[in-house]
Amino acid sequence: MTLVFCSILADVVLCTYVYVGAVFLRIALGASAEMGYTFSGMLAAFVLVHIGSLVVFLAYDFGKTRATTDLAFSAVFGVIAGTAVSFIAAAAYLVYYAPDGQPIARSVFAAACVVNMGVLAGWRVWYTRQRRNRGDLHSRVIVVGTMQRVRDVADELQEYSGSGHEIVGCVITDPVIGKRDQLRDFLGHVDNLQQLPWLRLGATVLSIIV
């Protein structure tokens, strides 16, 4: 919960700075200063919309099994959706409630969208890598299933070095006669789960993939 709260707070601060920077830059390039007044009344709504979009696209799911790229793409899609909704809401507000107000330039939304995608996805990638380097996302895994299924899953986990999973053993559900030498880290049959050599695997709670 603390991680999610800190992440939301970081996104609020970053989104605010990015939008304010985009508006000031646009005004510096020749836009009317009145656009700043229109923007100041909508900034809080823009930020809230972005946070809501990030929540919908699961950009605050920092679970152990979450791939870094998946988390980054969640942030990207959340920013795109948040920017689109903010632009539409700003246009509707000016059309129906403040027709005399100065519109916010489309370039502001475009620039904010690009920068927010890079910043919000970027810090998630960096943070996830830091957690992985510290071992926070490390999981010891026992693979359980048929011989072929266990072999396929074990090979996939070994090839995906960034998954943070360490295979400590394999348990199969089909007959084990003649198959012990065909599977690395073979522990035994699922019927003998209670008799498996847990102590040599360490005291860590083990994940089981069926």
* pLDDT on residue 205: 41
Confidence of residue 166 (pLDDT cuts 50, 70, 90): low
Say if residue 183 is in the same domain as residue 128. Answer: no
Query: Is 41 a residue whose pLDDT tops 50?
Result: yes
Could you read off the pLDDT of 62-98 as tens digits, one per residue?
A: 877 677 889 999 999 999 999 999 999 999 988 888 7
Asked if residue 23 and residue 106 are part of one domain, the reply reads yes
Which of 75-84, 143-152, 193-202 shows the lowest per-residue confidence on average (mean pLDDT)?
193-202
Structural domain count, the chain: 2
Do both 152 and 110 map to the same domain? no
Residues 163, 145: one domain? yes
Same domain (yes/no): 18, 100: yes
Lowest mean pLDDT among 26-40, 71-85, 111-125, 130-144: 130-144
Q: What is the pLDDT of residue 151?
A: 74
The residue from 133, 156, 172 where one domain ends is: 133
Angle between helices 43-56 and 2-28 (to 10 degrees): 130
**Taking the CB of residue 110, how many other CB atoms lie within 10 A of it?**
13
The gap from C-alpha 132 to its chain's centroid, in whole angstroms, comes to: 14
In the prediction, which pLDDT does 92 show? 92
Identify whether residues 184 and 127 lie together within a single domain.
no
Strand pairing of 186-189 and 165-172? parallel
Domain boundary among 69, 98, 133: 133
pLDDT tens digits along 97-106: 878 878 899 9
Could you give the CA distance from residue 146 to residue 61 in angstroms, rounded to a whole number?
31
Q: Are residues 32 and 126 in the same domain?
A: yes
Alpha carbon distance 58, 65 (integer Å) = 13
CB 41: neighbour CB atoms within 10 A? Answer: 11
Residues 6+ apart with CB under 8 A from 184: 154, 170
pLDDT at residue 169 in the model = 72
Same domain, 192 and 166: yes
The per-residue pLDDT for 204 is: 44
24 and 122 fall within a common domain: yes
pLDDT for 162? 55
Task: Band the pLDDT of 120: cuts 50, 70, 90.
Answer: very high
Domain that holds residue 11: 2-133
Query: What is d(CA 98, CA 96) in angstroms, rounded to the nearest whole number?
Result: 6
Where is the domain boundary, 106, 133, 160?
133
Based on the domain organization, do 14 and 114 belong to the same domain?
yes
- For residues 21 and 69, membership in a common domain is answered with yes
Same domain, 31 and 97: yes
